[in-house]
Structure 1
Amino acid sequence: MATTDTAEPTRRRHLSPLRWAFPIIVVTLLASLLGVMYLDYVVDPEKNLHNFPIALVNQDVGEDLTVGGQTKHVNFGDQVSEGLQKAVPADQIDLRVLGVNEASLEMQSAQVYGTIIIPSDFSKRLGILGVGSVVPGDISKPELILQTNPRTGAFATAVVQKFGEQALTQVNAQVGQQLTDQVKAQLAPPPGAPPTELTAATRLVLAQPLNITVNQFWPLPGGSGEGLTAFFYSLLLLLVGMVGAMIIHQLIDSALGFLPTEWGPWYVHYPRASISRLSTLLLKWSAVVVMSLTVSGALMGIAAALGMPIDKPLLLFIYGALVITTVGFTCTSVLAAVGTAGLIINLIIFIILGLPSSGGTIPIEATPKYFGWLAKFEPMHQVFLGTRSILYFYGDGQAGLTRGVWMSLLGLAIGILGGLFITRFYDRKGLDRKPSA
């Protein structure tokens, strides 16, 4: 039978104005930090764009063209490539000149968000277009290909498409002007002869000589939420680890008599158990481990039932359990170290600072630069990279799984060592969990 506290307080206590205002001040400060982080994250991604990686592949082999009775080898692809590199704002776009195989590998491992491809017959088709504009016959426009990488997220895809629209439209106009001048030179009449005028249709064709083709490099399967399922699954893992650890901390402390238990009008405060801080923490950790396994399996079952594609179920289960365990161990260690204030610390680390720096909805390269610094160690970004790799890139280590696993193991080690050290220190100092005399 439970023993309850029935004794009345020896004297009435009233809150001082400062004690009454303290929680309001704390919440206001937390809300302000939350507002800065979340609104600064999303207000102006275009202004914040920096080092956004896009690949440029020039496969053009060139062509021998005869102009004015002279034959020379030209490579319009090189000219377009050089023009793009000069025109692209280097502080916003990281334009990487790569070979076709290297660019494909970068796309498959989420290292670049898109690729511009200049085909091998670019110069040949452009030369044919110039000749065909003044000679009867069927012709086709040369092509520039813009490949998006939808598995990196919908917002990243939108940035690539907008960049392609702006940059390639400018290239189209520049090539058109160059081609028009070339055709006019070919049609230049002998001295004293009347000039040859281009028809309106010819001028229109020459003004926009390129066909810009946009396609997806590796389309997402159905049920992927346009690339958002990885973010929300990561968020679930992190929230379960944090909230689950707090619930376990609260309920075990209540069962051991360190906190009162209150369910509606029912209030009970069990006798305080004779147990050390270290043993209490180990007890909570055991509950976190079991919780991580059951919840990771439950989340996978729910995802599968809702039609979310999971190509690597065992890998996702193990990684999910690792993430939940890491977050749970760290949260309980923080609570063991600082007590109730650990709730605020965990909230700041995992939610307020973590979500905006995750890169799950807006790429890190489209957020203020300090988010990139936070993303180097904030748990949510590491969790997202690993989850995205498993769900969209078949568990490719370079796509983020390797980093996600190692950072999770590092976080787990920090949580374990920190928790063991602080609880052992408190126990050795005789700092028992009991009211001060």
Structure 2
Amino acid sequence: MANVEETAPESLPRKSPRVWLAPAVVVSLLMALLATMYLAYVVDPSKHLHDFPVALVDQDSGDVIGGQPTNVGKQINDALVQQIPADKFDLRVLGINEAQQQLNTGKVYGAIVIPSDFTKRLGIFAAASAVPGDVTRPQITVFTNPRTGTFGSQVMQNIAATALKQANDTVGRQLTGTLNTRLQPSGGVATLPGLSKLMLAAPIEVTVTPFHPLPGGTGGGLTAFFYTVMILLAGFTGAMVINGMVDAALGFAPTEFGPWYVHNPSVPISRLRTLFLKWAVMAGTAPVVAGIFMGVGQWLGMPIDRPLLLFLYSTFAITAVGVTALSIVSALGTMGLLVNLVLFIVLGLPSSGGTVPLEAIPRPMDWLAAFEPMHQVYLGVRAILYFNGDGSAGLSHACWKTLFGLLIGLLVGLIVTGYYDRKQLHRAPAAAR
């Protein structure tokens, strides 16, 4: 029994709204969703900052300034904890080893490090304002993490320009007051040289430097994102091409080459066996495409330190996306093309975290990243390309989520097409008129 509904030509006149209204509505709604998703996450990322992870390391051992035990590093540490908005930043007070570990695995976007001799250098710097001698400004280092993306580095630079500027002003006033007390114990105001006043007004040198900089050929940290897009397109677009060409070869859909129209006789094959055939083609094509991607990348000078790992994971991800996309089309028919487009591309790009971090996009999009395939694949590709394939940098998470997605795709395809076959909802072309 074929589930075919035939429509007489005269019941579908050219001017009927059914011909043009439905496609126009679908396209308009799709483009409205696309515009909302893409523009909402890129128009003003700073406005949407939330839970942005930053490490704060205070190594200062303190010193005696003006006869009093002093630890300026701790004062700055406490001030930063209070001043940096908790609703926007996840400020993690860590030791230096743990901070480096989190930088090396992409767990934080940067780190503020106060050195162990910070207070001692401040005391020497203040004394040098009134007595001769060589001196250097005490330094706080702000490490950016370019392997997590360029936007994170910009946020760390903003922290250095705002929060640490306030700390600089506060420490400058304290040093000026301490020096005045030392020079005028009776309570008067010492007359400091103009250059000394200027230097004491901003005694801390804030240095912004990348932690473990990226090598050349990485597009400033964008190659991982675009490689991810290539993998998703290979799975999604490849599945659509395979679906159309296999259906045409089996006689379930016509093939057109310019003015030539070919519709092969349909082959008596079940929906489930047809899906098995498409899955097999997808699985065989995935390693070929993964190899092509790697070859083009190396030809263009992109550094790939773990080529075998990248090849294996790319093949795995392309297969998972392709299998799931084919299952959706087999279950939903033509509507499956639209569902795949929304699932893998329209919702995937804004929630991938590849260009703008998840902590800088609207929270509903951040929620999408929990299950969107593009984000999971991006974490895996980024870990392989930038973090030496470290599992804790996102590769383990990506592998499990990719496997979970593949299993869902397999189950959907098996259950739905098996159900259609049991109900004898076979695929058959409309009778020739």
TM-score by structure 2 length?
0.95
Q: Secondary structure at the match of 1:227?
A: coil
- Tell whether the 8 Å contact from 2:252 to 2:429 is kept in structure 1 after alignment: no
Equivalent-residue separation in structure 2 for 1:327 and 1:114 (angstroms): 33
The residue type equivalent to 2:385 in the other structure is L
Equivalent-residue separation in structure 2 for 1:196 and 1:178 (angstroms): 14
1:5 match: none
2:101 match: 105
Q: Secondary structure at the match of 2:220?
A: helix
Aligned CA-pair RMSD: 1.4
Q: Secondary structure at the match of 2:141?
A: strand
**Per-residue deviation at 1:10?**
7.8
- Tell whether the 8 Å contact from 2:242 to 2:278 is kept in structure 1 after alignment: yes
**Per-residue deviation at 1:436?**
6.8
Larger deviation, residues 22-31 vs 86-95: 86-95
The residue type equivalent to 1:14 in the other structure is P
2:58 match: 58
The residue type equivalent to 1:25 in the other structure is V
1:39 match: 39
Q: Which runs of 5+ in 1 are unaligned?
A: 1-8
Among 77, 88, 96, which residue is 1:92 paired with?
88
Equivalent-residue separation in structure 1 for 2:190 and 2:385 (angstroms): 61
Residues 423 and 134 of structure 1: is their aligned pair in 2 closer, same or farther, counting only changes over 3 Å?
Answer: same
1:9-60 Cα distance to aligned partner (Å, 9 max, x none): 9855524113321101100000000000000010111101111111000010
Among 413, 423, 427, which residue is 1:419 paired with?
413
Equivalent-residue separation in structure 2 for 1:347 and 1:273 (angstroms): 29
**Structure 2 residue 12 is the aligned partner of structure 1 residue 18:** no
**Per-residue deviation at 1:189?**
4.5
- Tell whether the 8 Å contact from 2:180 to 2:189 is kept in structure 1 after alignment: no
1:75 match: 71
Among 153, 160, 168, which residue is 1:172 paired with?
168
Q: Which runs of 5+ in 2 are unaligned?
A: 1-6
Paired residues in the alignment total: 423
1:315-394 superposed matches below 5 A? 315-394=309-388
- Tell whether the 8 Å contact from 1:189 to 1:195 is kept in structure 2 after alignment: no
Equivalent-residue separation in structure 2 for 1:269 and 1:100 (angstroms): 68
**Per-residue deviation at 1:435?**
4.5
Among 180, 183, 186, which residue is 1:184 paired with?
180
The residue type equivalent to 2:318 in the other structure is I
Equivalent-residue separation in structure 1 for 2:154 and 2:129 (angstroms): 35
1:123 match: 119
1:28 match: 28
1:236-275 superposed matches below 5 A? 236-275=230-269
Equivalent-residue separation in structure 2 for 1:168 and 1:328 (angstroms): 49
Q: Secondary structure at the match of 1:160?
A: helix
Equivalent-residue separation in structure 2 for 1:201 and 1:326 (angstroms): 66
1:355-389 Cα distance to aligned partner (Å, 9 max, x none): 00001001111111111100011000001000000
Question: Percent identity between the aligned chains?
Answer: 52
2:143 match: 147
2:219 match: 225
Equivalent-residue separation in structure 1 for 2:9 and 2:166 (angstroms): 80
Equivalent-residue separation in structure 2 for 1:383 and 1:10 (angstroms): 48
Q: Secondary structure at the match of 1:226?
A: coil
1:185-218 Cα distance to aligned partner (Å, 9 max, x none): 1122448xx7531221111111010111111111
TM-score by structure 1 length?
0.95
1:1-16 superposed matches below 5 A? 11=9, 13-15=12-14, 16=16
Larger deviation, residues 226-235 vs 15-24: 15-24
1:392-411 superposed matches below 5 A? 392-411=386-405
Q: Secondary structure at the match of 1:271?
A: coil
The residue type equivalent to 2:194 in the other structure is A
Equivalent-residue separation in structure 2 for 1:196 and 1:181 (angstroms): 10
Equivalent-residue separation in structure 2 for 1:63 and 1:10 (angstroms): 93
Equivalent-residue separation in structure 2 for 1:276 and 1:378 (angstroms): 31
- Tell whether the 8 Å contact from 1:188 to 1:196 is kept in structure 2 after alignment: yes
